[in-house]
Structure 1
Amino acid sequence: MAAELTQGLRERKKASTRRKIRTEAFRLFRKQGYAETTVDQIAAAAKVSSRTFFRYFQNKEQVVLDDDLDPLLVRMVVMQPAGLSVTAAFRAAAEQLALDPPEEQFEADRLRLLYTEPELRGGAMTELRRNIDLLSQVIAQRSDREPSDRQVRMFAGACVGALLSVTDELPDELDYALQVLDFFDAGMPL
């Protein structure tokens, strides 16, 4: 990703180690199942110690829960010109968010696991609430409203709900997100 170009060597090494742990964890989850995979197995597959694993992730659940795209997307939305509507700013940011195919597939796998694995359901609900709070902050900032404004929260919840409704249809989440924005802009005609 573009953000990696501005990072120093230490940050790139940390990002590489974190990515390796996640990649190996997801490979093991696909091979033997989430519940059957242990932190020690993930660490061994990633060729790091269990102690190193815990420097990057609080627990196995966090490997799936951590969302690396949301903070990047939010920064991109905030950087959009002030005159753009909320949906136009999100659309522009989403179109600028360039993921390569492995990153797209990883995100699709992460979301699918997050919303289908029984052990992750509690964390998934926390993640949904976090996403709504995060979107509410950005929407409020762009619309000169408060994050607690009921309409701001409803819009944020509608965005999150629309994406959640097609978890099984990913990996083309970006295309679907753009369709959701088009649907919102059209006044949600049914």
Structure 2
Amino acid sequence: MNRPGLRERKKIETLHRLQEEALRLFDEQGYDATTIEQIAEAAGVSPSTFYRYFPVKEDVVVQDEYDPLIVDVFESQQEGTAPLEALRAVLTALFREFTDEDIERVRRRVRMIFSVPALRARQVGQSAATERLLAQMVAQRTGRSAEELEVRHFTALVVASWTVAISAWAETDGTKDDLAANLDKCLAHLEAGAPL
């Protein structure tokens, strides 16, 4: 996986700082009672900087920096690698780079999404965007159209698998299951035809 340059690292640091302060404030005073201005002030940036990273308040929890990394690793997979195998490799590479702080941030974000209806609703839109991204990646790898029903169905199944894996992990508050293992197990089950 290509390491981000200095400028990109600074952007990710600011994104994480905004998320950390937002999550702290949401825990302390509740999601609805927390304003964008309070989050920006706590993170040491202006409200306009907040909006450059997150168009709406919900996105400070729902949005992350992983999509470009997913594309980068997926495209680096050897030609002829099946899409599902390539996606499993993507997750392995991605989680290899995760720190304990990254996992904790994901845990807190997922917990918040599950507890706030506005965040759950926004997450539906984020999942749809991820499906479209995956459809474009898979279409390019397979020489098919991203609009084909089978391509769209495949990517919807992948995103649903990820959602189930993350949900099962979050239900234990991240203390029982390993997130990376859950994600891989769900994709392996899908790869095997989801037998019961």
TM superposition score normalised by structure 1: 0.86
Alignment correspondent of 1:109: 108
Quick check: 2:139–2:151 contact (8 Å CA) kept in 1?
yes
Residue 168 of structure 1 and its aligned partner are, at CA, apart by: 4.8
* Structure 2 letter corresponding to 1:173: L
Q: What is the DSSP-based 3-state SS (H/G/I as helix, E as strand, rest coil) of the residue aligned with 1:165?
A: helix
Q: What is the DSSP-based 3-state SS (H/G/I as helix, E as strand, rest coil) of the residue aligned with 1:137?
A: helix
Between 1:108-117 and 1:71-80, the stretch displaced more is 108-117
Give structure 2 stretches of 5+ with no counterpart: none
Alignment correspondent of 2:82: 85
Q: What is the DSSP-based 3-state SS (H/G/I as helix, E as strand, rest coil) of the residue aligned with 1:146?
A: coil
Looking at structure 2, the residues matched to 107 and 141 of structure 1 have their Cα atoms a distance apart, in angstroms, of: 29
Between 1:168-177 and 1:98-107, the stretch displaced more is 168-177
Alignment correspondent of 2:190: 184
Alignment correspondent of 2:15: 18
Looking at structure 1, the residues matched to 143 and 2 of structure 2 have their Cα atoms a distance apart, in angstroms, of: 30
Looking at structure 2, the residues matched to 168 and 183 of structure 1 have their Cα atoms a distance apart, in angstroms, of: 15
Q: Identity over the aligned pairs, expressed in percent?
A: 35
- CA deviation profile, 1:114-135 (whole Å, cap 9, x unmatched): 3441122332221121111111
Alignment correspondent of 1:72: 69
Looking at structure 2, the residues matched to 109 and 173 of structure 1 have their Cα atoms a distance apart, in angstroms, of: 13
Quick check: 2:131–2:152 contact (8 Å CA) kept in 1?
yes
**1:36–1:161 distance in 2 versus 1, CA, 3 Å:** same
Looking at structure 2, the residues matched to 175 and 161 of structure 1 have their Cα atoms a distance apart, in angstroms, of: 16
TM superposition score normalised by structure 2: 0.84
Coordinate RMSD, CA, aligned: 2.1
**1:105–1:53 distance in 2 versus 1, CA, 3 Å:** same
Question: After the TM superposition, which segments of 4 or more aligned residues of structure 1 sit over 6 Å from their partners?
Answer: none
Quick check: 2:12–2:65 contact (8 Å CA) kept in 1?
no
Alignment correspondent of 1:40: 37
Quick check: 2:127–2:159 contact (8 Å CA) kept in 1?
yes
Residue 90 of structure 1 and its aligned partner are, at CA, apart by: 1.1
* Structure 1 letter corresponding to 2:133: L
Alignment correspondent of 1:133: 132
Give structure 1 stretches of 5+ with no counterpart: none
Quick check: 1:108–1:173 contact (8 Å CA) kept in 2?
no
- CA deviation profile, 1:37-96 (whole Å, cap 9, x unmatched): 111221221122323323332231221232311221122111100121112111222111
Q: What is the DSSP-based 3-state SS (H/G/I as helix, E as strand, rest coil) of the residue aligned with 1:58?
A: coil
